[in-house]
Amino acid sequence: MTKYNPDQIEERWQKFWNEEGFYHSDIDHNKTKYYVLEMFPYPSGKLHMGHMRVYSIGDVLARFLRMRGFNVIHPMGWDAFGLPAENAAIENRVNPARWTEKNIEQMKKQQNRLGISYDWRREINTSSPDYYRWSQWLFLLMYKRKLAYKKKASVNWCSDCATVLANEQVEKGLCWRCSSPVETRELEQWFLRITDYADRLLYDLDKLDNWPERVKVMQQNWIGRSEGAEIVFKIKEFPGEEIRTFTTRPDTLFGVTSMVLAPEHPLVKKLVEDTERETEVLDFVAKVRQESEIERTAEEAPKIGLFTGCHVINPINGEEVPILVGNYVLMAYGTGAVMGVPAHDQRDFLFAKKHGLPVRVVIQPDGEELSDQTMTEAYTGDGKMVNSGPYNGLDNVEGIGRVTAYLADNGLGGFQVGYRLRDWLISRQRYWGAPIPIIYCEKCGALPVPDADLPVELPLEVELSGNRVPSLAHYEDFMHTLCPTCGGPALRETDTMDTFICSSWYFMRFTSPQSDDAPFEPRAVDYWMPVDQYIGGIEHAVLHLLYARFFTKVLFDAGLVKTEEPFSRLLAQGMVYKDGAKMSKSKGNVVTPDEIVEKYGADTGRLFILFASPPEKDLDWNDQGVEGCHRFLRRIWRLIEECREEFDTTAGNSEYTGKEADLERSVHAAIKKVTHDVQDRFNFNTAISAIMELVNAIYTYRQSVENNDHNHGVVRDAIEKTVLLLAPFAPHLAEESWHNLGFSESVHLQKWPVYEPDKLVVENIEVVFQINGKVRGRVTVPADSTEEQLIEEAHHNERIKELLAGREVVKVIAVPGRLVNIVVR
Ligand SMILES: [Zn+2]
Ligand SMILES: [Zn+2]
C-alpha cells in the first residue's frame, strides 16, 4: 500500500496540468460560458492567507463549473502600479519595474503551488506598456467624451513626500507614510466626471440581484442622492452677489438664523476685504485649510465659525441673517454654503448654541410643544409649519413642495437633486503609474496624445533623489516633446493616473489580452462579459466596484461593450484571523500559505480554508482544524488503497441487500448536497461535511459485511463518486486517486456526477397516531422520518385534526419508526 505523499503528487500534477494547457478556454458558442474572477492582487511578492482564501474559493467554483459542462474562463493578473514599488525602490535601491517583475514571478509560483486552475495565457500586468497603453487610450476616450477634465482643487498635500494624499492616507492630520503634517493645497488636477453617471450607478444597483445587500447599501450611501431645493440668497452688503445653497428641507426656510460658508468659498475674501475683520477671518481660513477634510467633519470635532460682518437676505421673508465662515462646511460638497436652521438640524443646533445664534422653531410635532428656550436638541421629524407666515398650519411634507414651487416661480431657486458623490480625482504626482497622455503647447493649449503615439512610456531608469522617487516632472527627456498640431516645442503632462483606473477595466482585457489594435476584441468581450462570479474583499465594496461599474457604463455608451454592469454575481469573502486577531507580524500569529503547503500540502490547506467557515464569514485559523483536514485526506487515501487491494484479491459478491441500498443512498444524498451547496449557496463547508459523511458511510458498509465479502460494484461506484466530488476541493489527491483507480483520463475532465432521485427514496413504513394512547389513525412515511417530521405529519392528518378540534393539547410524544401520541385535555 502506498502512502499519501502530497509533496510528491501535487507538484507532479501541477506540472502536468500546466503543460497540457488544461485550463485554457476559448470562445465556443456551443457551450455556455462562465466567467469566474478573483480580484487581481497587488504584486507585493508575498502571498498571504487572505489571498489563499480568495483563490481557493474561485478555484472550487471554476473546477466545479467545468465539470458541469460550462466553458469557464478563469484568468489572473497583476495590479502592478502604485506606491509600494516606489517605497521598495527607496529602501532597496532597486528599480520599481524590476522589483515588480520579481514579485510577480514569486507570487505566480506560489499560486501555481496551490494548484489554482488559471489560464496563464491571459495573464496581464497593468504596469507593462502593452497594458497601460490602453489605460491611456481609455483616458482619452473619456477626454473626448468630455468626461475627463482639469480643474483647480484642494488636495491633501505632504511636502515631505511631495505628493497628494487620499483622505484615507491622512491620519490625525499627519501623512500615513512619513508622519509630517499634511496641508491643503490648491493644485490643477485631472478629474473624471463620474457624477454624470450618479443616477445610473444608483438605479442600476437594483439590477444586481446577486450582490450582497450590504455592498449595495454602501454604494448607495456613497452616491448619496437626495432630493431638495436650491435656494438663492442675495447679500445685503453686496447687492450684485448671491449665495446658492442646497437643502433637503426647504420647509424650514423660515427658521434660518445664519448662513455658513466654507473657508474655501470664493466670496469669503470679498466679504471681509478692507474691514476690521479681515485679518482674523483670513487667518482662520488659512488655519482651517491646513486641516484635512476628515478632521474638519469628524463628529467630535468642534464646530468653529467667525462672523464676516455681512448678511444674506432670506428670500422667503426678507429677513437679514448673518454670514459666518465655518470649519465644518466643505467646498467640495454641494455649494460650499449651508443655511443654518438650528431648531431642525442637529449640527446647526450645536453651532448656534456655541455662537449664540437664535433658535427658531418652525415645525411643530403632533402632541408636543417645542420651544426655543427649552430645546436640548434639534427636532428633525415631521409636523405642522409654524412661524412661517402664509404657510402656518400646513403639513411640512406638503410645505416642502409649496416652498420649492414659490422659489422656482420667483427665480429664487427650485427643485434640485443633490449627491454626496464627487468627481473622481485621478491625478497622482507619482512616478510609478500610467502617464496621463496629454501634451501642453504654448500656442495650441492642452492636446490629447494622438492614438498612434500611445503608449506614453514611463522612463525606465529611475533617478532616486534622497528618500523619494521624483515625479515625472524631474525627467527632462520625458517632459519635452513636440506639439502634435503645430510641431513646435511642447511639454508633457507629468501626473500619472490613479491605479484604480488600471483596475477599472482589467476584467475586459482578460477576454483578449493580446489585442493590439483595441483595448479588447469585440467578439471576445461580447462572448465572455459580464463576469459571472466576482470574488474579493469587502474593502473594495465602494471605490473599486463603483469605478469598474462607471467604466463599464462609459464603454457601453461608446458602443464598445454590450453589457452595462460588469459583475453579475459578487461574493465578498471574510477576513482570516488567528486566535481571534488579525494575522500580523507584530502579534506573531502569521501563518503563510508556504508553511502550510510545505507541512501538509496544498490540498489540506485548501480544504481547511473552505471547510472552516462559509466564504462570506470571517475565518479563524486553527491548527487542530488543519490537522483534522489532513487526517481526513489521509483517510480517503487509505480507503482507496485498501479497496484497490481488495478489488484485486477478492472476488466480492453481487449481493444487493439493505446495506448496499443504504450505501447507494448515501452516495446519491452526497451528490445532491454537494451540488446544491456549491452551486446555489457557496456553502463549501457543508459540502465538505457531506463528502466526509459519505466516506464514513463507505467505511461503515465495509465493516458491516463479514469476511470482507463486499459488493465490489457498489463500493467502487461509491469511491469513484467520492473522488469526483472531492476534485474541486482537493484537486491533486483526486487526480492521483482517479488514476490509481485505473482511469487514464484526468478527473478534472470528467462530468460532474448526477444523483438519481429514486435512489434517494428510503423505504416506507407505517406509523400510528394515537390520542390519549388510543390508536386513531395510521399513515405511511419514509422510514427515516424524524420526530419533528412525524409530529408535523400528525398535525396535517385530517382525521386527527377533526378529533383535536376544540381540545387542548397538553403534550405530544413521537417515537420515530412507531407512533405519535397526542395527550389532550
Ligand atoms: Zn509624507
Ligand atoms: Zn502647438
Q: Which tens digits make up the pLDDT trace of 669-688?
A: 999 999 999 998 899 999 99
Residue % of the chain over a pLDDT of 90: 75
Give the integer Cα–Cα distance in Å for 771 and 711.
Answer: 45
**What single-letter DSSP state applies at residue 39?**
P
Which ligand has the minimum distance to the alpha carbon of residue 178? Answer: 1
Q: 454 C-alpha to center of ligand 2: Å?
A: 18
Q: 487 C-alpha to center of ligand 2: Å?
A: 6
Q: 184 C-alpha to center of ligand 1: Å?
A: 13
Residue % of the chain over a pLDDT of 70: 99
pLDDT tens string 569-584: 999 999 999 888 888 7
**Mean pLDDT across the stretch 393-413?**
96
For the chain, give the longest Cα–Cα distance.
108
Q: 430 C-alpha to center of ligand 2: Å?
A: 26
Give the integer Cα–Cα distance in Å for 337 and 251.
Answer: 18
At position 721, the amino acid (one-letter code) is: K
Which ligand has the minimum distance to the alpha carbon of residue 162? Answer: 1
Which ligand has the minimum distance to the alpha carbon of residue 182? Answer: 1
Q: 439 C-alpha to center of ligand 2: Å?
A: 9
Q: 290 C-alpha to center of ligand 1: Å?
A: 14
pLDDT tens string 76-103: 999 999 988 888 888 888 889 999 999 9
Residue 777, beta-bridge partner list? 769
Which ligand has the minimum distance to the alpha carbon of residue 164? Answer: 1
Q: 492 C-alpha to center of ligand 2: Å?
A: 12
Q: 450 C-alpha to center of ligand 2: Å?
A: 13
Q: 440 C-alpha to center of ligand 2: Å?
A: 8
H helix intervals, 80-128:
83-92, 96-113
Which ligand has the minimum distance to the alpha carbon of residue 446? Answer: 2
3-state secondary structure at position 340: strand
Which ligand has the minimum distance to the alpha carbon of residue 170? Answer: 1
| Residues, CB within 5 angstroms of ligand 1 (ion) | 158, 160-161, 175, 177-178
Helices and strands in the chain: count of H runs, count of E runs: 27, 32
Residue 314, beta-bridge partner list? none
Question: Does 132 have pLDDT greater than 80?
Answer: yes
Higher-scoring residue by pLDDT: 150, 164: 150
Residue 415 is predicted with a pLDDT of 96
Question: Does 707 have pLDDT greater than 80?
Answer: no
Which ligand has the minimum distance to the alpha carbon of residue 487? Answer: 2
C-alpha cell at 422: 464627487
Q: 426 C-alpha to center of ligand 1: Å?
A: 19
> Sorting pLDDT into bands at 50, 70 and 90, what band is 652?
confident
pLDDT tens string 321-361: 999 999 989 887 778 999 999 999 999 999 999 999 999 99
Q: 169 C-alpha to center of ligand 1: Å?
A: 9
Q: 163 C-alpha to center of ligand 1: Å?
A: 7
Residue 177 is predicted with a pLDDT of 76
Q: 148 C-alpha to center of ligand 2: Å?
A: 21
pLDDT tens string 232-243: 999 999 999 999
pLDDT tens string 459-492: 988 877 666 778 898 899 999 999 999 999 999 9
Q: 682 C-alpha to center of ligand 1: Å?
A: 43
Q: 180 C-alpha to center of ligand 1: Å?
A: 6
pLDDT tens string 771-805: 998 999 888 888 888 898 899 888 888 889 888 88
Q: 446 C-alpha to center of ligand 2: Å?
A: 9
Residue 602 is inside which H or E element, if any? helix 602-611
Q: 191 C-alpha to center of ligand 1: Å?
A: 23
Which ligand has the minimum distance to the alpha carbon of residue 180? Answer: 1
Q: Of 85-89, 736-740, 765-769, give the lowest mean pLDDT range.
A: 85-89
552 and 563 Cβ atoms separated by less than 8 Å: yes
Q: 210 C-alpha to center of ligand 1: Å?
A: 41
H helix intervals, 467-530:
476-479, 499-502, 506-509, 522-528
Which ligand has the minimum distance to the alpha carbon of residue 481? Answer: 2
Which ligand has the minimum distance to the alpha carbon of residue 158? Answer: 1
Q: 183 C-alpha to center of ligand 1: Å?
A: 11
Give the integer Cα–Cα distance in Å for 240 and 91.
Answer: 57
Q: 165 C-alpha to center of ligand 1: Å?
A: 8
Residue 416 is predicted with a pLDDT of 94
> pTM of the entire structure?
0.86
Question: Does 529 have pLDDT greater than 90?
Answer: yes
Q: What is the residue whose three cell numbers read 466576482?
A: 534
> Sorting pLDDT into bands at 50, 70 and 90, what band is 13?
very high
Give the integer Cα–Cα distance in Å for 545 and 571.
Answer: 12
Mean pLDDT of the chain: 93
Q: 160 C-alpha to center of ligand 1: Å?
A: 5
Q: 182 C-alpha to center of ligand 1: Å?
A: 8
Which ligand has the minimum distance to the alpha carbon of residue 87? Answer: 1
Q: Exposed e or buried b for every residue in 287-312, given b needs 16+ CB within 10 A?
A: ebbebbbeebbeeeeebbbbbbebbb
Residue 450 is predicted with a pLDDT of 97
Residue 51 is predicted with a pLDDT of 96
Give the integer Cα–Cα distance in Å for 406 and 388.
Answer: 13
In order, the DSSP letters of 531-593 are EEEEEEEGGGTTHHHHHHHHHHHHHHHTTS-S-S-SEEEEEEE--EEETTEE--TTTT----H
Q: 222 C-alpha to center of ligand 1: Å?
A: 27
Q: 264 C-alpha to center of ligand 1: Å?
A: 24
Q: 154 C-alpha to center of ligand 2: Å?
A: 30
Residue 168 is predicted with a pLDDT of 66
Q: 477 C-alpha to center of ligand 1: Å?
A: 27
Question: Does 496 have pLDDT greater than 90?
Answer: yes
Residue 309 is predicted with a pLDDT of 95
Give the integer Cα–Cα distance in Å for 24 and 71.
Answer: 10
